[in-house]
Structure 1
Amino acid sequence: MNKEILKDFIQRVWNEGDISAISEYLADSYHVMHDPGDPWNGMTLDVAGFQNRVSISRAPVPDQRFEIQSLFENEDSVCMTWLWKGTHLGEIAGIPPTGKTLHMSGATVYFFENNKISGHWQVADRLSIFQQLQANRSQ
Structure 2
Amino acid sequence: MERRIFLAGAALAVMAPAIPSPARESLGRRTLVERFAATLSAHDLSAFGALFADDYVNHQISAAAPAPPTGLTPKQATVGYFAARLAGMPDLQVAIESAVTADDKVAASFVYTGTHGGSYFGIAPTGRALRFTSCDIFLVRNNLLAEHWGMGDIAGILAQLRAR
TM-score between the two structures when normalised by the length of structure 2: 0.71
Please name the residue that 2:152 is paired with: 124
Q: Which has the higher contact order (CA 8 A, sep 6+)?
A: 1
Q: Deviations over 1:45-83 (max 9, x none)?
A: 24x554433322311112111210110101211110122
1:6 aligns with 2:61: no
CA distance in 2, matches of 1:107, 1:3: 14
Decide which moves more: 18-27 or 32-41. Answer: 32-41
Match of 1:15?
41
Q: What is the match of residue 119 of structure 2?
A: 91
With 29-38 and 111-120 compared, the bigger mean Cα shift is at 29-38
Task: Name the residue aligned to 2:15.
Answer: none
> Which protein is richer in strand relative to its size?
1
1:34 maps to which of 60, 76, 91: 60
Q: TM-score, normalised by structure 1?
A: 0.82
What do the CA deviations read for 1:10-47 (whole angstroms, capped 9, x no partner)? 201x2111122135422112211014134339x8424x
Report the number of matched residues: 133
Q: 1:65 and 1:134 mapped to 2: Cα distance?
A: 21
Counterparts of 1:134 and 1:50, CA distance in 2: 24
Match of 2:136?
108
CA RMSD of aligned residues (A): 2.2
- Sequence identity (%): 26
Counterpart CA distance in 1 for 2:153 and 2:78 is 22
Greater helix fraction, Structure 1 or Structure 2: 2
**AA partner of residue 45 (structure 1):** P
- Match for residue 73 of structure 1? 101
Structure-1 residue corresponding to 2:12: none
Q: 1:124/1:52 Cα in 2 relative to 1: closer, same or farther (>3 Å)? A: closer
Tell me how far apart the structure 2 counterparts of residues 35 and 72 of structure 1 sit (CA, whole Å): 23
